[in-house]
Amino acid sequence: MKTLTPLSLIIAISFSLVSFNKYEDKKTKENKNLNDTYKTVNNNESDANSEISNDFFKRYSDLKKYKSDVMSLYKTRSLGTIWFDEGEISEFGSVLYEKAKKTNDLIIPYQKEIDQLFSSSSDKSTLSQTDADMLLSSLYVVYTKKSNADKKRIAYDAMLKDFLNYSTLEETSTVADADVKVEYDQYYKLQDVLKKYKRLEKSSKWKPIVPAEVPYKELRPDAVSSTIAQVRTRLYLYGDLKSDSKSDVYDRELMDAVMKYKVRNGFKPNYILAEEHINEMNIPLENKVATLKLNMERCRAIAAQIAASDEYVLVNVPSYEMVYVKNGKVQLTSPVFVGAPLTKTTIFNGEIDRIVFSPYWTVPQSIVQNELKSKIAADPNYLAEKNMEIVNGQVRQKPGPDNSLGLVKFMFPNSEDIYMHDTPSKTLFDFEKRTFSHGCINLKMAKELAVAMLQDYPEWTPAKIDKAMAGKTENSFKLTKKVPIYITYFTSLVNENGEIGFFQDVYEKDAELTNTETSVTVN
């Protein structure tokens, strides 16, 4: 019996080794086949990229000397993906363009073509996305060579990773552009807040709010809770309270501070402290610092245009707000609602060239197919009940108080067919998150904006505007002086009172750029 056990073990081990060797031979063959497949795919992809690059540098021959540097940026990327986001030039592309233009003695090859990429006029570029992306990559290489002229060897791909990171970009640009004035004063307002938040971050005074009750229960005036004392301290640190009494009673003093906090951050103005408000207060300071830096760079990207405008309209998507500025002063602010996540409002600049009173609404074909077609088929009277008609094969809604565009619209030609207009759905402005439209901007105070913008046109008295808005036929007025409009995406802004507001990243643009969490959930 003693000799049988070792013998059986030897046989078992030998059998296992033979089986394992056969398995390894099989895996080796499989891996070889996989490697051959990968090599074939990579070679095909490499051939395709080579064909694209050869064609590009043949057509843009002045850039041939930068070919190896440019193509090194695409080693781990597909062509056409560095400077674009959802088919539009990203903020990084805009920042690169602005930085290159501000660099002394920098000769930009094919500047006319690059300028057209950022033009809001009718001569908008018709370049393919691949050509546009490679032009911007070439600009990046030219800009980097100029900015790092004293360095013998430049690792473009490594430097690009730093460039495509807002925190690094902000830190380096602060030094490089210390003597370059940014004309848009919002930049410096954000900078002052950034200094305050950095000091607060270093002081260790900021601590997460830990709710007294789990699950969390809403807090209202006169409530008594240790959560109240923590909220009081937080609002004192943020500047909404002048002093911190440490009281755990939700008193009048705290009510005023909560209202101030809510208004500046775009929350519904009431005294309820809900879970979402505690979550926002618990966003780490390092995240808020990153948000401030990111939005300072956004200021740089549009600074030149705003500085040159004595009159403009600014619509900020995350804060759901429109601001009309004239002669450097805010004339009007209005709540807005914007495109839903599936039909996002495009971020771009344009020029308002006409105001249309009592407008028709020509229903987009996509809405006709997806929403109206079945309703019209089910109810023969549907069009008449909705004050609609079919003209030249298109469905349109007649002017009137129930028209989806309201009583007035503001037109600024653009390829996305986006415009700004009144709306009969006034109750939607009561919501905090206002992403309801198919992409257009819906104004709460549309009439007030029309009155403000037409002050330089004596014939357009308030009475005439009222009459035009109540008309049964469309009345279009062409402005003799076009008004710039900036549709922006600022997730932090300083208001006229010097108060900072942080807004929801409704289209997740910040999250994509920083790749960090922007909230802390109350457990």
Q: How many residues does this entry show for the chain?
A: 523
Residue located via tokens 């911190």 = 244
Using omega within 30 degrees of 0 as the cis cutoff, is the peptide bond preceding 215 cis?
yes
pLDDT in tens, 161-182: 767 765 444 444 443 444 455 6
3-state SS, 12-25, equals HHHHHHHHHHHHHH
Look at residue 144 and tell me whether its pLDDT is greater than 80.
yes
Confidence of residue 150 (pLDDT cuts 50, 70, 90): low
* DSSP bridge pairs for 410: 355, 420
Termini Cα distance of the chain: 64
Residue located via tokens 């956004």 = 298
Contact 302, 292 (CB under 8 A): no
Q: What local confidence, expressed as pLDDT, does residue 466 receive?
A: 96
Mean of the per-residue pLDDT values of the chain? 84
Least confidently predicted of 40-44, 374-378, 491-495: 40-44
Other C-beta atoms lying within 10 Å of the C-beta of residue 274: 16
Q: What local confidence, expressed as pLDDT, does residue 167 receive?
A: 46
Catalytic residues: 421, 440
Average pLDDT score over residue span 360-370: 89
* Backbone torsions φ then ψ of 136, nearest 5 degrees: -70, -35
Q: What is the pTM of this model?
A: 0.67
Look at residue 523 and tell me whether its pLDDT is greater than 80.
no
* DSSP bridge pairs for 315: 322, 487
Q: How far is CA 42 from the centre of its chain?
A: 34
